Structure 1
Amino acid sequence: MPPRFRHLNKDMAVLKGLMKLLTSLSLLALLLVAAAVWWIQHPMDTRQTTLDVSIEPGTSPKAIAQAVQDAGADVSASMLYIWFRLSGQSRQMRAGSYEILPGTSPQRLLNMLVRGEESLRTVTIVEGWNWRQVRQALAKAENLKPESQTLTDEALMAQLGRPGVAPEGRFYPDTYAYAKGASDLAVLKRAMKSMDKHVQQAWQLRQPGLSLKSPEEVLVLASIVEKETGRGSDRPLISGVFNNRLRIGMRLQTDPTVIYGLGPAFDGNLRRVHLQTDNPWNTYTRGGLPPTPIAMPGREALLAAVQPAQTQALYFVAKGDGSSHFSATLDEHNRAVNRYQRGMAATPD
């Protein structure tokens, strides 16, 4: 065989070897890609339990991967870190409190971290609740850090930036979502800012000639309207009665303020001696508004306080069905009391 053909055969053999090697490498690469795709989509082993992972601001992708492993996921922190980097989204992962549910894959985990899908809980402040009830609700809230529990009211309000202000009435009734492990002080700050906003909005909508002279007075009267209301549609009329009384200098004489002044000592039975015993919230013995709100008023009560119904009524009495009867004179009111509360230990509003 001529030398040139021998060289050609040798070159062909080398080429075939290279082709085989490239084919093997391509197959290996395909297998590696397939394995990687399977791995990022395959559920991590969480031992059938929900894992909690808390990520502080500034935590590196490598530390996040390690935190997932440390939380109990049976996954390689190194491989998880490589996945975060290769995804091109490692810098977009957000701090927060997360729950890794059974069946979560590395792909799903990355999506959660990038979108900031934190595990959230909620706590509700109910319209008409007083401050004591709000504290009780916060203490019972799931996974809410009780930082306020050891604070006095004065210290707590100082922490919220309102030193010297009583907490009653300052927190807007609503449902607040929070991340697991969040501070109850953070929830209270949000509720306080929300109340500030709603009070200011109500103040901007006040009627001309309103008896109330400041947003603070709006908050106090709204809290009384909230506690006196058995039927929502009566709020403007109840506010109208109290605005009329304030305008002519008549005492408000409203039972909820007396009950509030009694505090935890109130046993559910309001007696005449309670109405005659003076304290700052007794509107039978003192004129004008009490010194603080008596509850957390909602939006409708705030609006009723600044937009009272145009009425001549100075009195009202519960009818027993949730509504009230409104009277312009004491004689008419006494007749209404006899009609609707005969046999009951009733006192004029």
Structure 2
Amino acid sequence: MMKKIGFVLLFLCVVVAVALLWSKQQIDAYLGSPRAQETQLFTLADGSYFSHLAPQLIDQDLLDSQRWWKVVSKLRPELTKIKSGTYELPKGASLEQILVILTSGHEYQFKLTFVEGSTYKDWQTIFTNAEHIQPLQQTEQELLTALKSSSTKLEGLLFPETYHYTADMSAFSIVKKAYLHQQRVLEKLWAERDKNLPYKNPYEALIMASIIEKESGLANDRDKISSVFVNRLKIGMRLQTDPTVIYGMGDRYNGRIRKKDLQEKTAYNTYTINGLPPTPIAMPSEEALYAALHPATTKYLYFVSKGDGTSYFSKNLREHNNAVNKYIRGM
């Protein structure tokens, strides 16, 4: 009798062991088989629970059955602690890998790139076309108030670079980050500036930097372009720079500057006003700011584009006119 009982117990143990082994194989296959056919974004809304996740995965073809779902929650509880957000699921990711990603809290980082010399209008367009971002709701003046800036325009106040954000982050958070970055850069460079510069304050240096940014086709020319404008300011000579004319024309600019445009009296036309325009005309880079505050030591008063990205610099009008005839008129 005892032998029979022992045999039955042994048989039951074998059955249980086989069942457990089979179940483990099924769970391993359930968790380990590739699910993501392509790299894709997956969003978990606020308040999402593990028990509600399976239908969403099925809807997005990342799961074919809930058969082992509850078993997974019992055997692998660490995979149930999902966090809301938008995540990137790589191609070929298994269910286990997907759940690890959804519990990591490491949300997908979208990015926006703002190039040197872009304007606030350009930034507005980029924000408008951006994915998964809360648009700017405030006017320019409201943004300046929120940033506690005494300036009248945001132009020049935002540092141009690539910014990363997570889904549904506000565009204002990027504006604030760019503003604080520019303030730090300007404060640092202003403290290290050359002596005897014709700027009353850091903001005037920012204005100059924006002009240099728009005028420089070659990084190595920035300090010489800066020297031209600094030399002009020191002797009371007008800057006479085309980018300020273009900025003053606004939406009327169609790619050409005519004689009447150069003669038009706008607040920004440095052919008709003395000194600097009232605000920057673009978002300058750190390199342009550095050039504004560390101009080359020259006697140059003029420069003209040579058509290859470089510029020809002149000390007097006669030399400049000869350069214009050569490089612009082809004479």
TM-score normalised according to structure 2 size: 0.85
Larger radius of gyration: 1
Does the alignment pair 1:212 with 2:199?
yes
Which has the higher mean CA deviation after the structures are superposed, 107-116 or 288-297? 107-116
SS in 2 for 1:326: strand
Aligned residue number for residue 6 of structure 1: none
For 1:292 and 1:85, how far apart are their aligned partners in 2? Answer: 63
Taking the TM superposition and a 5 Å limit, the aligned residue runs for 1:251-330 are 251-330=238-317
SS in 1 for 2:304: strand
Aligned residue number for residue 135 of structure 2: 147
Aligned residue number for residue 115 of structure 2: 126
For 1:132 and 1:85, how far apart are their aligned partners in 2? Answer: 54
Q: Which amino acid aligns with 2:249?
A: L
Q: Which amino acid aligns with 1:135?
A: Q
- Cα distance 1:318–1:38, how it changes in 2: closer, same or farther (>3 A)? same
Count of aligned positions: 331
1:113 to 94, 102, 105: 102
CA deviation map 1:169-217 (0-9, x unaligned)? 2332222333455443343333333333333333243223333333322
- Cα distance 1:42–1:261, how it changes in 2: closer, same or farther (>3 A)? same
Give percent identity, aligned residues only.
Answer: 37
Q: CA deviation at 1:79?
A: 4.7
Aligned residue number for residue 44 of structure 2: 55
Q: Which amino acid aligns with 1:230?
A: G
Does the alignment pair 1:173 with 2:160?
yes
Q: CA deviation at 1:223?
A: 0.8
Does the alignment pair 1:33 with 2:24?
yes
For 1:101 and 1:231, how far apart are their aligned partners in 2? Answer: 40
For 1:261 and 1:39, how far apart are their aligned partners in 2? Answer: 64
Q: CA deviation at 1:108?
A: 1.1
- Cα distance 1:140–1:30, how it changes in 2: closer, same or farther (>3 A)? same
- Cα distance 1:162–1:111, how it changes in 2: closer, same or farther (>3 A)? farther
Aligned residue number for residue 78 of structure 2: 89
Aligned residue number for residue 250 of structure 1: 237
Where in structure 1 do 4 or more consecutive aligned residues deviate above 6 Å?
none
CA deviation map 1:110-138 (0-9, x unaligned)? 23224445444433212222222222233
SS in 2 for 1:313: coil
- Cα distance 1:341–1:58, how it changes in 2: closer, same or farther (>3 A)? same
Q: CA deviation at 1:95?
A: 3.4
Q: Is the 8 A contact 2:134 2:168 kept in 1?
A: no
Q: CA deviation at 1:82?
A: 5.4
Q: CA deviation at 1:340?
A: 3.2
Q: Is the 8 A contact 1:160 1:185 kept in 2?
A: no
Does the alignment pair 1:13 with 2:4?
yes
1:337 to 324, 327, 330: 324
Q: Is the 8 A contact 2:38 2:92 kept in 1?
A: no
- Cα distance 1:178–1:277, how it changes in 2: closer, same or farther (>3 A)? same
TM-score normalised according to structure 1 size: 0.81
SS in 2 for 1:296: coil
For 1:90 and 1:161, how far apart are their aligned partners in 2? Answer: 45
Could you say what the CA RMSD is over the residues aligned between the two structures, in angstroms?
3.1
Q: Which amino acid aligns with 2:269?
A: N
Which has the higher mean CA deviation after the structures are superposed, 251-260 or 313-322? 313-322
For 1:224 and 1:342, how far apart are their aligned partners in 2? Answer: 24
